[in-house]
Amino acid sequence: MLETIGLKKTFKRHVAVDDANLLLKKGESIGLLGPNGAGKSTLISMIETLIKPTEGDVTWNEKSIIKQPDLLRPVLGVVPQEIALYKELSAYENVKFFGKIYKLTGKELEERAEAVLKLVGLSDRQKDLVKTFSGGMQRRLNIAVALLHEPEVIIMDEPTVGIDPQSRNYILEMVRDLNREQGLTVLYTSHYMEEVERLCDRIYIMDNGKVIANGTKEELIAILSEEESIELVLEKPISTFKEALEMEPSILRVTQESNGLKLIVPKNNRKLTRIFQLAEQHDASITNVNIQIPSLEDVFLHLTGKKLRD
Ligand SMILES: Nc1ncnc2c1ncn2[C@@H]1O[C@H](COP(=O)(O)OP(=O)(O)OP(=O)(O)O)[C@@H](O)[C@H]1O
């Protein structure tokens, strides 16, 4: 069991992480969601014992790893946000190099190297130089390196940023299998709500250094149980129509979407007639209306006032 207790990190006068309490139980998969600068990487770096907290503690099976980093390090795998590989070496050479850092040698190293390359689907490219790999293949190799020493816990910091959909899908399926079938405990940070929804048992939402909510997807959505969203598909954007909707007391929030507007309104108080009246007044042509129960994205917006990928 991995736990952060009142964790805080201050850089000069800027509080990057403030009183963060996270609990990651054995075999669980948790997601850490937050906009840029929310403090996710700083929080993770403290768990990885790469930076020291200003206040608070991180415990592994109830023992402080701030005091004894070596309790967690041997069982922790880390997939950093930036790809950390030697581009002039082959995939196999990279894996062997990092294996030696984990103190693997001889037959054991060879077996583990083969196993992780197979797991990430790179066995047939193992002799090729990393510089010839696509971004997605490099990410997969980065994950292979993190799994070499058969960790119990893996921390992945946005492991699918900037890669092709096929590699992304491969990585998501692999992490899911490792968690569900092999019991690997996973802490996964992402900008992609759908990834966290797909992979994680529980989700922590961070903003401005604070953990502002946590729970299962259903629990988080229940925060908005009194609300629903109305999607208005518009022929073309009309800024005065958006402004008029924003002024309307019965409409809680208005956000711009690619093909129109999304409104959050109280349940049972949709005031659709009023919306259509305003559309007419502002010459806005509504081509479609969808009424939906809130999504996790709506919860995020409700809690942080921001879209996840602003
Ligand atoms: N070494 C540092 N010195 C000063 N400020 C820092 C340092 N590291 C992070 N910060 C600041 O702390 C805040 C949190 O940053 P952090 O990188 O943890 O956010 P994040 O949620 O991981 O964002 P992203 O998704 O962009 O990686 C930011 O305002 C950042 O500028």
ipTM for the complex? Answer: 0.94
Mean pLDDT of the chain: 92
Residues enclosing ligand 1, CB less than 6 A? 11, 14, 16, 34, 36-42
Name the segment(s) of the chain with CATH classification 3.30.70.100. 225-293
> pLDDT tens across 89-114, in order?
999 999 999 999 888 999 999 999 99
The per-residue DSSP string of 73-130 comes to GGGEEEE-SS----TTSBHHHHHHHHHHHTT--HHHHHHHHHHHHHHTT-GGGTTSBG
Name the segment(s) of the chain with CATH classification 3.40.50.300. 2-221
Q: Which residue's structure tokens are 């880390």?
A: 78
Look at the domain 225-293 and name its fold.
Alpha-Beta Plaits (3.30.70)
Gap from CA of 268 to ligand 1 centroid (Å) = 41
> pLDDT tens across 127-150, in order?
999 999 999 999 999 999 999 999
Quick one: pLDDT at residue 148? 95
Quick one: pLDDT at residue 175? 94
What is the average pLDDT across 190-217?
A: 91
Q: What is the DSSP letter of 307?
A: -
Identify the CATH number of the domain defined by range 2-221.
3.40.50.300
Quick one: pLDDT at residue 149? 94
Quick one: pLDDT at residue 309? 66
Q: Would strands 76-79 and 227-234 be described as parallel, antiparallel, or unpaired?
A: unpaired
pLDDT at 217 over 90: no
Share of the chain above pLDDT 90, in %: 73
0.90 exceeded by the pTM? no
For the CA atoms of 92, 98, 101, 105, the dihedral, rounded to the nearest 10 degrees, stands at -20
Residue 105's Cβ-count burial label (10 Å; 0-12, 13-18, 19+) is exposed
Rounded to an integer, what distance in angstroms lies between the CA atom of residue 295 and that of residue 264?
11
In ligand 1, which atom is closest to the CA atom of 206? 21
